[in-house]
Every structure is written in structure tokens, then in C-alpha cells.
């Protein structure tokens, strides 16, 4: 009907990237006036921006014209029992690195990881005057959610997020898990049983991948993992199951807290550690060297993890290209909970 008003739908950065045939990260760089994009590609993106009438949201526009010397930290709720000491240590590293640069840190938390909730968190940080955002996205669904975001704020993830092309800073969890398995196999154990973390956590999946990969490479049997939820209680329940199987001589748990539960259950069942069963964890949690016996584990410097994330964010804020993936080093810490398999 003539004269009927047609609703105007605001073009998003995702629309620009799709039409221009580039990644969302590249579209964001061009929209922010970045110089680290091929000239021909940048021209194409700018034409699409003009054709679609894309305009950044007012808050992001204000930030681009007057930086507030504040970075945002977006993370899952601090009351979440699964958050873990590692995440807290990363947050401390972010705060310390920001303070050294004279930057403030504004924190926003989210209860879920759907696009609307995360978009709201980004908006709250933008309103707080943040120039860029460091976010913790530990779940498997992270890539889909992050691709749906509409913001020009520079971002860095502290988690490994497959299929996400933005900058990430993370440990090589799969390789670290493989290093644990290789250590146990070198001690003469025919295979290594695994207590896995929650299936919807990327770190859990990656540690399981590394465990399985190392076993298959060595031609060792791959036994179905026992499911845990990062807690000592779940480790204890898993340990009770493992203690009932006389063929078990080596166990790799996806974190140290579950390892603590496993150690308790095995000791309660009369299984000696490491004489009967070797146990190794992951994270080198504070106090793991005082477990009984002290725990063999993987150490990642979580404070350095946070500092590296700040460095990658600052590169973007200074108009430079951030690395797509920055790997935080890890090392195997061998203690008394693992030993050569008795004959």
C-alpha cells in the first residue's frame, strides 16, 4: 500500500562482514579506522558500510573519539562453583598488568552465555567507559555466541575458542594433557584412565582430546573416561569407581580439585598411591604440593596469562594487529603421586 512505512532495520557489523566476504574481526578493524588491513579489502569493506548504512552504536562511537583509559573484563559469575582458582588468577593478572599501564579495570559478569546476555555485558562495559574488552568464554558454545556480537570494541578471549577468528590467549591444553599421559606411560603403565571435566567446557574437551591422542599414538588402550564436574566430590565418586577396578594403575584427572577427591577415595579403598595407582592432575592448584602424596600436575602461569591478554588488547588499542593465538607456556610438575608401575 502506498505510503505504508517500512520498518528500518539497522545493519550490523555481522551484515557488513557477510556482504563484504571478510571476517567479522576484519570488518571491525576497518570500521574502527584500523590500518592493519589490506587496502583493497579495506576499500571493499568501506563500500559495503556505505551501501548498508552501517553505523556503530552511540556508545562505541563515543569511545572511539575519547578513550577512557579503562579496559573491561567480562566473565561468568563469580559465585559459580565451577569458576576455579585459575580463572581468579587470570583476573588478578589482568588487573596487575592494567595497573602497571595506568589503566583501570571494569568488571561485568554474566549468568549465561547466550548472545543477548553477552551483548548486554559488552554494553555495560562500554557505558562504563571501557576502550576494549577481555572476556572469559570457557564453554563450547562460545564461538557461535561471539560471532553474533555486534560491537566495534577490540576484544581478546582468555580461552581457546575453535572457529572464532578473534585474538585469543590460552594454554595448549591438549598438548599439556598429552604430556601428562606420556609421563605416565613412560613409567610403564599400560594405559591411563581419565576423570574428565564437564562436557560443555572447552578446556575439558581439549584435555580429553590430548589424553586420547597420546594413548592412541602410543598404541595404548583408550578406556571410556569417568565424568566429573571439576569438584573434589565428583573426583571422589570417580575414585570409588576406579578403586573397584584392579586393572587401574594410572589416572589423569582434568583438574587438581578432582584429583584430591580421587586420592581420598583410593586411599579409603586401601589402594596405595603411587605404589598401586599413580594419579596426576592439571592446574597446579595452590596446595597441590601438600596433597598426600604431593600431586604431579600441569602448571600454567595464570597471572602471566592475564598479562598476555592485556598486551594483546593494548596492541589493538594502539592500532596494531594482535596475534590470532598467543600460547601461554605450560610445564609438567612431577611429584610423589606418580611412580613406575610395580610388576
Domain locations along the chain: 13-50, 70-171+302-329, 173-300
Mean per-residue pLDDT over the chain, rounded: 86
Q: Provide the percentage of residues in the chain whose pLDDT is more than 90.
A: 52
pLDDT at 66: 47
pLDDT at 118: 82
pLDDT at 150: 78
**Measured torsion, CA atoms of residues 230, 231, 232, 237, in degrees rounded to the nearest 10:** -80
Mean pLDDT to the nearest integer, 189-201:
95
Quick one: pLDDT band at residue 343, thresholds 50, 70, 90?
Answer: low
pLDDT at 250: 98
Cell of 196: 574428565
pLDDT at 148: 78
Q: Is the pLDDT of residue 127 over 90?
A: no
**Separation between Cα atoms, residue 238 and residue 89, nearest integer Å:** 27
Quick one: pLDDT band at residue 16, thresholds 50, 70, 90?
Answer: confident
Q: Do domains 70-171+302-329 and 173-300 have the same CATH topology?
A: yes
Among all chains, which residue has been given the C-alpha cell 566473565?
Answer: 75
Cα-Cα-Cα-Cα dihedral sign, residues 41, 42, 45, 46: negative
Start-to-end CA distance of the chain, whole Å, equals 87
**Separation between Cα atoms, residue 272 and residue 340, nearest integer Å:** 13
Q: Provide the percentage of residues in the chain whose pLDDT is more than 70.
A: 89
- Provide the whole-model pTM: 0.78
What is the CB neighbour count within 10 angstroms for residue 140? 17
pLDDT at 3: 36
The DSSP bridge partners found for residue 81 are none
Q: Is the pLDDT of residue 297 over 90?
A: yes
CATH class for the region spanning 173-300: alpha beta
Quick one: pLDDT band at residue 55, thresholds 50, 70, 90?
Answer: low
Which residues touch 178 (CB under 8 Å, ≥6 apart)?
Answer: 210, 211, 213, 214, 217
Lowest mean pLDDT among 147-151, 213-217, 235-239: 147-151
pLDDT tens sequence across 75-116: 876 554 455 567 788 888 899 888 888 888 998 887 777 788
Among all chains, which residue has been given the C-alpha cell 555485558?
Answer: 121
**Separation between Cα atoms, residue 280 and residue 332, nearest integer Å:** 10
CATH class for the region spanning 70-171+302-329: alpha beta
- 215 or 127, which is more confident? 215
pLDDT at 180: 98
Amino acid at each position: 500500500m502506498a505510503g505504508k512505512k517500512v520498518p528500518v532495520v539497522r545493519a550490523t557489523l555481522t551484515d557488513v562482514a557477510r556482504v563484504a566476504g571478510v571476517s567479522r574481526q576484519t570488518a571491525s578493524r576497518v570500521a574502527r579506522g584500523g590500518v592493519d588491513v589490506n587496502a583493497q579489502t579495506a576499500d571493499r569493506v568501506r563500500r559495503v558500510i556505505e551501501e548498508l548504512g552501517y553505523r556503530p552504536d552511540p556508545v562505541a562511537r563515543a569511545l572511539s573519539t575519547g578513550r577512557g583509559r579503562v579496559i573491561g573484563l567480562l566473565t561468568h559469575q563469580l559465585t559459580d562453583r565451577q569458576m576455579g582458582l585459575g580463572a581468579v588468577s587470570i583476573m588478578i593478572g589482568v588487573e596487575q598488568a592494567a595497573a602497571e599501564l595506568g589503566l583501570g579495570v571494569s568488571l561485568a559478569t554474566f549468568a549465561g552465555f547466550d548472545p543477548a546476555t553477552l551483548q548486554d555485558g559488552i554494553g555495560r562495559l562500554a557505558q562504563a567507559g571501557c576502550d576494549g574488552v577481555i572476556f572469559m568464554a570457557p564453554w563450547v558454545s562460545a564461538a557461535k555466541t561471539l560471532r553474533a556480537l555486534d560491537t566495534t570494541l577490540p576484544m581478546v578471549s582468555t580461552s581457546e575458542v575453535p572457529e572464532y577468528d578473534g585474538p585469543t590467549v590460552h594454554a595448549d591444553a591438549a598438548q599439556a594433557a598429552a604430556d601428562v599421559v606420556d609421563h605416565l606411560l613412560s613409567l610403564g603403565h599400560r594405559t591411563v584412565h581419565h576423570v574428565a571435566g564437564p562436557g560443555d567446557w572447552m578446556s575439558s574437551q581439549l584435555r580429553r582430546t590430548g589424553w586420547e591422542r597420546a594413548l592412541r599414538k602410543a598404541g595404548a588402550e583408550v578406556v571410556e573416561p569417568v565424568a566429573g564436574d571439576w569438584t573434589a566430590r565428583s573426583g571422589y565418586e570417580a575414585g570409588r569407581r576406579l578403586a573397584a577396578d584392579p586393572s587401574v594403575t594410572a589416572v589423569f584427572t582434568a583438574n587438581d580439585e578432582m584429583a584430591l577427591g580421587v586420592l581420598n577415595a583410593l586411599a579409603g579403598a586401601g589402594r596405595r598411591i603411587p605404589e598401586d595407582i599413580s594419579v596426576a592432575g592439571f592446574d597446579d592448584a595452590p596446595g597441590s604440593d601438600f596433597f598426600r602424596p604431593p600431586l604431579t600436575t600441569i602448571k600454567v602461569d595464570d597471572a602471566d596469562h592475564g598479562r598476555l591478554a592485556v598486551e594483546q588488547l593494548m596492541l589493538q588499542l594502539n592500532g596494531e594487529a594482535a596475534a590470532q593465538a598467543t600460547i601461554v607456556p605450560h610445564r609438567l610438575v612431577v611429584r610423589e603421586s606418580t611412580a613406575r608401575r610395580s610388576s
